[in-house]
Structure 1
Amino acid sequence: MSGGFRRTRFSVGRIAGVLLNNKIIIGVRSFFESNSSLSRVVRNLGWLLAGKGFGAVLSLFYLALATRLLEPAGFGYFTLILVTAQVASAFVSFESWQLVIRFGSQLQAGKADGDVNRLAAFCLLLDIGSALLGILLVTGLILIFADQFGWQDDMIGMAILFAIVSLLSVRSSAIGILRLFDRFRDGALAAAMTPLARFGGALLAWTFSPDIKGFLIAWAAAEILTCVAYWVTVRLVTPVRFTGLRLSEIVAIPKSFSQFFSFLWITNLGTTVRSIAQQVPLLVVGFFVGPAAAGLFRLAYQLKDAVARLADMLGRAVYAELSAVDSHEGGDARKTLFAQTSRISAIGSILLVIIAVFLGKPALQLIAGEAFLPAYPILLVLSLAAAVELWGVNFEPNLMAAGRPKAILWIRTGAVTVLLSLMAVLIPGQGGLGAAYAILAYSLLANLALWMFTRYSD
């Protein structure tokens, strides 16, 4: 017995030795141990994937609980409340994480580490101010559209309270700080608090309050805990400190950059435009067709989004590295990295479509049950749109790193105009599927235009 064990161990050892000495294994190991721009992008993407992958798995469980307990109509009411808060946030948000990365990279390149603290503090104040403005906006939106969405007085109160909690749980600048200092691993751990808290909250809601109120409380608690996790992480793993800073020093930081305010307003407008494309279709479906149709559309959108998060993660990892490369090594190095990451995104877009075609319907039935199977055609069309976005995920970060946010804004604005026009035509007759076709047209138009601008203007 022991001899057999020794022979097995020897064989395993020989196999391991062969693998470790294999040129492919050595090459992969050398790639990840190197400090090249592409290796940093892949390494950071790996940490983002680890956190988001964990979240995606848990999201399937709490999504199953929400859909099966609330059913299409109740799930529609629930998601309409969530999306209303997200839309209000997007209209007033300045995407401060992009400000931290873009101008923080310049400060680091110039060894102005003390100014990084002031930049981070300014962005935090910006987050808080936009949150307060968002509370006023979302309260008005809820009061104006509550009747059309079929919300009663108690649901209006819950919607306003959830929006307040969600908007005040600011963390965009914290995300930027962690990425500026290449702490993607720690950011992934902080981000994991959202799905973990939602999963735990969904279990509690299922046990004690299996209704819309219970799930809203769970989602609000997740927002608070995630906000706390991000800022505690910033305190523990980065040198950024706000103590000792005077308000006059903080508000003066934009004067250090000639394009600060133009970049600020353009990113705000860009966020608003993207939010219209991502969130407004659900509100329009709920407005014209009803909460049940909105529930079907939202489930399809969330399942697509669980897979398509790869695009968002790759874009965030690439933007941080492209900004650093452009500040430290110049435009030629940025173009080389852009070409390398574009090949990765093209492969990912093909895989996304394959996953949607073969696993979409079984996933719908397993997670939500028979009542949500009508969402499958919507899921397929939205997955095609997500594949297009993944193919073009490098275009925006490349243009942003090159200091051309205005081009992105004009392109996205034109595409959103087409989106709104198509929704007005398609949703009254086709409901959620019409909204999905409009989103696909938006993705195709926007990314083709971004590709042409990137190809011929760089």
Structure 2
Amino acid sequence: MTKIRGRARALRKAVTAESFRRRYANVGHLLSGNAATLVIGLFAVALTARALGPHEYGILALVISGAQAIDSFVNFQTWQPLIRYGADLDDEAHRDELMALFKYGLLLDMAAAITGWMIALGVTAIAGFLLGWEPAVYATVLTYSLVLLFRVNGTPVAILRLAGKFRATAYLQVLGVGARLIGCAIAFAMGGGVFAFAVIWMTTQILSQLLLAFAAWRELRSRGLHRLDKASLKGIRARFPGIWGFTWSANFSLTLWSSAQQLDVLLVGALTDPASAGLYHIAKRIGRAVQQAGAQVQAVAYPEIARLWQAGAIRAFRNVVLQTEMLLASAGLALFCATLLVAKPVILLVAGKAFAGAAPLLVVQMVAVTLVLSGSIARVALLSMGRERQIFGLVVLSIALFFATAALLIPRIGPMGANIAHIVLGSVWLLGLSILLKSGLAQARREDERAASSCEQSPAADRCADTLRHDAA
């Protein structure tokens, strides 16, 4: 009983801590923006689906998923190394380092954007020739691929997250999806086809990217860090040891992970038909909107987690990770229970009777979303601990099992096979992350104990002990 009371007091202390309140105030802003984006986005999806029907909506879904798949393969996800190496840098004391770091990320983003667009052009030419596409299909694919040229979002995201500008990040996305809804409403009223809706989705995604880049530029300008063209990249690897390896490792890891999130629609379309891909995409749009909530919480927690680990505050690091994981797991479970009750009415309301078959897909997909949601904070915790190689190995295993399951089940049971494959992926992913995190924390404790033992034998034992106590706070 005494132990239980002690834990209750510790929990109350954590809940009233200033950092806890600030963290979840930021989470509140992001989730509010995400909720508004979800609602407005569902109206846009509803208008698109009702205007096009399952077959043509499936074609649009394949075009969008193809561009997203290319982006996931070439995108460096530069926000990860920028946050990890920039979390403890100060504007005044480390001005040159910060500017070099942001320039490094921006150049990688630009190179990835141009490469992705060129790959899209090549893939379109080859696929069109082999499959005998009509000119209208060429026009749709080539037009939508322009969105890849503007996918320079990793560095702006890192800048805003490091600055704690989560409110701006949250509500900028609402403007982009709001513009999409207006465009879809106009196209719906005028009887627009696949090409018209592809142009609308492409244009509004570019608008969102430009708004994000402008907000990041304004933030840098207010801090006197906006002249990135003057920053020197000479010796960048010496100034930030391991940054190049971390960048590539994080890129490979997320590229593989994204392959399951982006190629699944294409896989369903290839192994079944466009109409089935359309049903699957409708369910996935709703499920992924929920998963984005986890990404928003991760966005708030990552800079703080990285700073705590670099400061050696292991206990505080563990508490933040556990608190946030419990929040996400509880939210995921609650959303799954809600989905059981409202999946079919929501699908009918959003897309109409033609898409009723997407309701059971949505229910099963929410199981996979809950699993992935529960492990999202453990992943960034392991990145902060320098365990990117172990994460990469776990990603390889999880993705291999996903594609094996999908290839086996989709031809037999259709789109539901892709959802079951996602559950397999999420289960292996969550279990593996839990094992890696537990192992990493145990190793950190052993190292602290060895440091404390060495400290006791040191001639300056009192000063050493004071330092250790400060680090553990």
State TM-score, norm by structure 2.
Answer: 0.85
| Whole-angstrom distance in 2 between the partners of 1:244 and 1:40 | 30
- What is aligned with 2:47? 65
Q: 1:110 to 1:264 in 2, by over 3 A?
A: farther
1:285 to 237, 252, 268: 268
- What is aligned with 2:145? 163
- What is aligned with 2:290? 307
| Whole-angstrom distance in 2 between the partners of 1:35 and 1:413 | 39
Instruction: Give the letter for the 1:391 counterpart.
Output: S
Note if 1:243 corresponds to 2:227: yes
| Whole-angstrom distance in 1 between the partners of 2:179 and 2:130 | 31
| Whole-angstrom distance in 2 between the partners of 1:209 and 1:322 | 50
Q: 1:39 to 1:257 in 2, by over 3 A?
A: same
| Whole-angstrom distance in 2 between the partners of 1:105 and 1:181 | 10
Note if 1:101 corresponds to 2:83: yes
- What is aligned with 1:415? 398
| Whole-angstrom distance in 2 between the partners of 1:389 and 1:147 | 38
Aligned-pair Cα RMSD in Å: 2.2
Shift of 1:395: 1.2
Instruction: Give the letter for the 1:440 counterpart.
Output: I
Aligned residues: 428
- What is aligned with 1:257? 240
| Whole-angstrom distance in 2 between the partners of 1:75 and 1:441 | 28
| Whole-angstrom distance in 1 between the partners of 2:228 and 2:406 | 51
Instruction: Give the letter for the 1:426 counterpart.
Output: L
Instruction: Give the letter for the 1:153 counterpart.
Output: P
Structure 1 unaligned runs (5+)?
1-26
Shift of 1:209: 5.3
Shift of 1:347: 1.0
1:324 to 289, 295, 307: 307
Q: 1:149, 1:287 within 8 Å by CA — same for their partners in 2?
A: no
State TM-score, norm by structure 1.
Answer: 0.88
Note if 1:433 corresponds to 2:420: no
Q: 1:378 to 1:158 in 2, by over 3 A?
A: same
SS of 1:170's equivalent? coil
- What is aligned with 2:457? none
- What is aligned with 1:88? 70
Note if 1:382 corresponds to 2:365: yes
Q: 1:289, 1:431 within 8 Å by CA — same for their partners in 2?
A: yes
Shift of 1:307: 2.4
For 1:280-327, what per-residue CA distance to the aligned partner results, in whole angstroms no more than 9, with x for missing partners? 111011112111010000001111122232222122222122112223
SS of 1:268's equivalent? helix
Shift of 1:271: 1.7
Note if 1:392 corresponds to 2:375: yes
Shift of 1:55: 0.5
| Whole-angstrom distance in 2 between the partners of 1:436 and 1:145 | 27
- What is aligned with 2:256? 273
Note if 1:43 corresponds to 2:25: yes
Shift of 1:150: 7.8
| Whole-angstrom distance in 1 between the partners of 2:234 and 2:137 | 40
Give percent identity, aligned residues only.
Answer: 26
| Whole-angstrom distance in 2 between the partners of 1:148 and 1:198 | 33
Shift of 1:407: 1.2
Instruction: Give the letter for the 2:72 counterpart.
Output: A
Q: 2:143, 2:199 within 8 Å by CA — same for their partners in 1?
A: no
Q: 1:209 to 1:169 in 2, by over 3 A?
A: farther
- What is aligned with 1:405? 388
- What is aligned with 1:204? 186
Instruction: Give the letter for the 1:159 counterpart.
Output: V
Shift of 1:183: 0.8
- What is aligned with 1:182? 164
| Whole-angstrom distance in 2 between the partners of 1:210 and 1:251 | 52
Structure 2 unaligned runs (5+)?
1-10, 442-473
Q: 1:118, 1:245 within 8 Å by CA — same for their partners in 2?
A: no
Shift of 1:244: 6.5
Q: 1:139, 1:160 within 8 Å by CA — same for their partners in 2?
A: yes
- What is aligned with 2:122? 140
| Whole-angstrom distance in 2 between the partners of 1:83 and 1:192 | 21
| Whole-angstrom distance in 2 between the partners of 1:149 and 1:80 | 14
Q: Bigger CA drift: 333-342 or 139-148? A: 139-148
Q: 1:178, 1:187 within 8 Å by CA — same for their partners in 2?
A: yes
For 1:106-137, what per-residue CA distance to the aligned partner results, in whole angstroms no more than 9, with x for missing partners? 32399313321221122111101011111122
